[in-house]
A and B are shown apart, each in its own frame.
Chain A
Amino acid sequence: QVQLQESGPGLVKPSQTLSLTCTVSGGSISSGTYYWSWIRQPAGKGLEWIGRIFISGSTDYNPSLKSRVTISVDTSKNQFSLKLSSVTAADTALYYCARETAGYSSGWYDWGQGTLVTVSS
């Protein structure tokens, strides 16, 4: 049973860079054909897909955030990471990492529990 766990600072100052890591346990991030995604949800609001990475390193980002987002993978640590630069209060949200199978509409069937990031001075 694969489990995902987000980690990172809960408070980030405006204009700084938000950095989060998703640690995958119970399976290798390198095995299989999966996309590893970041999704966020402001309090009381809906879900927004941020972007994803394939194990090859290829990435796909939401154009609304593309200029500020970088997703990377570290297979040695079985982790993938999110960096979001120049944050503002609008980036305050619960951030989730999630897994889907590549090649068909599998949906995101494995999720982390989420980590709350607040942007405030």
Chain B
Amino acid sequence: DIQMTQSPSSLSASVGDRVSITCRASQSISTYLNWYQQKPGKAPNLLIYAASSLQSGVPSRFSGSGSGTDFTLTISSLQPEDFATYYCQQSYSSPFTFGPGTKVDIK
């Protein structure tokens, strides 16, 4: 199985801050990497697919980059509705695996 790690596991930030979350795969996954946002009691919401493609309807302040084993999700200016947990997920090979999540809360 491909193992996914994320850093940090949690972070505190203020509205308007630029926030970056890193995801690393245990082997190269090309750009088969997706990012999700999850709020309490809700299903995950797809933000970024194929490492850097913005899902329809997702605000442009979200962006993704990377290839191979190292990936980054960036929120350019954190908004109140962005406080949530973020997961990366590899779709390179089955079983499809998620990172452990990064919780973003209010500073």
Contact = CB atoms under 8 A, between A and B. Distances in A.
- Chain A's interface size range is 20 to 34
Contacts, number: 61
Contact of A107 (B91, B92, B95): B91
B81 to A, nearest CB: 18
Contacts of A112: 43
A49 B98 contact: yes
A105 B32 contact: yes
B25 to A, nearest CB: 13
Nearest to A97: B43
Interface residues of B, number: 28
B43 A107 contact: no
Interface stretch (B10-18, B44-52, B72-80): B44-52
Contacts of A64: 95
B94 to A, nearest CB: 5
Chief secondary structure at chain A's binding surface = loop
Interface string B65-107: 0000000000000000000000101011011111111000000
Contact of A109 (B55, B89, B96): B55
Contact of A47 (B50, B87, B94): B87
A105 B32 CA distance: 6
B63 interface: no
Contact of B95 (A46, A63, A96, A108): A63
Contacts of A60: 94
10 contacts: A46-B101, A62-B94, A98-B43, A105-B34, A105-B50, A107-B50, A107-B55, A108-B44, A109-B46, A111-B45
Interface of B: 1, 31-34, 36, 42-46, 48-51, 55, 87, 89, 91-92, 94-101
Interface of A: 46-49, 60-64, 96, 98, 100, 104-109, 111-114
